[in-house]
Amino acid sequence: MASLQFERIGKTFDEQVIAVANVSFEVEDGEFVVLVGPSGCGKTTLLRMVAGLESLTAGTLRLDAVDVSDTDPRDRDVAMVFQNYALYPHMTVYQNMAFGLQQRKVPAAEIENIVHRTARTLDLDKLLKRKPGALSGGQRQRVAMGRAIVRNPAVFLMDEPLSNLDAKLRVQMRSELKLLRARLGVTTLYVTHDQVEAMTMGDRVAVMKPIDNPGETNLQQVDTPQTLYKQPVNIFVASFIGSPAMNFVRVRLAGGGDALTASIVGTPISYDVPAGYLAKHPGLADYTDKEVIAGIRPEFFEFAALSNATHKLPLDVDVLVTEIIGPDSYLHFDLPTPPVHVGTSDEPADATLTQPADTQSTRFTARVDPEAAAEASGTARITLDLARVHYFDPASELAIT
């Protein structure tokens, strides 16, 4: 059991490549924190620095208030689960799990006791005599977990432990991991690029971003999953969290006082910013007669027939594609407004769906009721919930509050 403090931590490779810079946050005792971000954002490097496998080039790392920045990995009480498990291939499952304890000079009888107990909880007791080569992916993953658990470390480090499993097994292991962590209650730092994993598993989630300037920081926001979703601090976090990704559109604000009118650039569409929203986000008034970026999650749209509340903006859109995925359906449509470029996703899903050919229009995704979507074709009337729209400063990309 331990807390972890990161204080302006930085890592530069070969004095040129900046992997991590100015990362400061704290992991409380027993907390489960997920590091998430696109590839190259330094999340794995940060994890390896906690393990002691990478040296720090800046900052201080404290484990239970003790500075461990330069401590050898052998002398930090941390256990790590590697992405490819890194099991010892020539040892049996039992030996794999016992090795760390043997090196710590734990008495043999006690080792046997601990390993068998852990193997039972992980459902590995029938596999103890097997070697990793004779195990399935999910079993290897559990052995890797077991090897970390038997040591009863102060901190668990997990580097994308589920990424080598197939989709179904991943969901199963995710819930097993959650159960396990609820029982063990050990401080855990968990790296993933999968935001669903991050949102479902973390007590708090740290969103990281690739950087190339030593003055910046990788760390964008550390918060609970719900806060990240509802109050993203900037465009990066807003677009990274949520699937399908948030829609961005430029709007021009006009008016003043407690009545602001927003018009979507390039279109005749305009609406009044709800007064209640303005009261909660007074900063928005400073942007009168300026352009801001509005962030609209796909789920902020609804079919017109299903809503009659106020603060809804009706839109008649030409539906290009309808994707029906079980409980959800996604409508894709274009509006003739210049697109906002946000560099977050490193995996452009389907270029034709995310980016229209015409550079003067922007593609939108709406998440709507599948029953109604099945009938929608050609022009459809949908509404936008204006009370939930996010606004960002176009220059700093920070959320306007």
Helices (H), 288-369: 351-354
Compute the least distance from the CB of residue 326 to another protein, in Å.
Answer: 37
Cα separation, 108 vs 111, in Å, equals 5
> Is the CB of residue 62 less than 8 Å from the CB of residue 154?
no
Q: Which of 133, 215, 257, 348 binds another protein (CB under 8 A)?
A: 133
Query: 62 or 131, CB closer to another protein?
Result: 131
Report if residue 104 touches another protein, rule: CB under 8 A.
yes
- In 115-186, the DSSP E strands lie at 155-159
Report if residue 103 touches another protein, rule: CB under 8 A.
yes
Compute the least distance from the CB of residue 394 to another protein, in Å.
Answer: 43
> Is the CB of residue 149 less than 8 Å from the CB of residue 183?
no
Q: Which of 49, 79, 93, 269 binds another protein (CB under 8 A)?
A: 79
β-strand partners of 398: 234
Report if residue 82 touches another protein, rule: CB under 8 A.
yes
Report if residue 53 touches another protein, rule: CB under 8 A.
yes
Q: Using CB under 8 A, which of the segments 38-46, 78-86, 194-202, 250-258 binds another protein?
A: 78-86
Compute the least distance from the CB of residue 89 to another protein, in Å.
Answer: 6
Q: Which burial class, exposed, middle or buried, applies to 79 when counting CB atoms under 10 A from its CB (0-12, 13-18, 19+)?
A: buried
**Closest of 367, 250, 383, 373 to residue 308, by C-alpha:** 383
Q: Which of 65, 74, 326, 341 binds another protein (CB under 8 A)?
A: 74
Q: Read off the tokens for 72.
A: 């050898």
Compute the least distance from the CB of residue 315 to another protein, in Å.
Answer: 51
**Amino acid identity, position 156:** F
Report if residue 51 touches another protein, rule: CB under 8 A.
yes
Q: Which of 13, 55, 67, 84 binds another protein (CB under 8 A)?
A: 84
Report if residue 111 touches another protein, rule: CB under 8 A.
no
β-strand partners of 27: 4
> Is the CB of residue 143 less than 8 Å from the CB of residue 131?
no
Compute, in degrees rounded to 10, the torsion defined by CA atoms 71, 74, 75, 81: 90
Compute the least distance from the CB of residue 205 to another protein, in Å.
Answer: 25
> What x-and-dash track marks residues 150-169 binding another protein by CB under 8 A?
-x------------------
**Closest of 16, 13, 19 to residue 37, by C-alpha:** 19
Binding site for another protein (CB under 8 A): 51-53, 72-74, 78-80, 82-84, 86-90, 99-100, 102-104, 131, 133, 147, 151
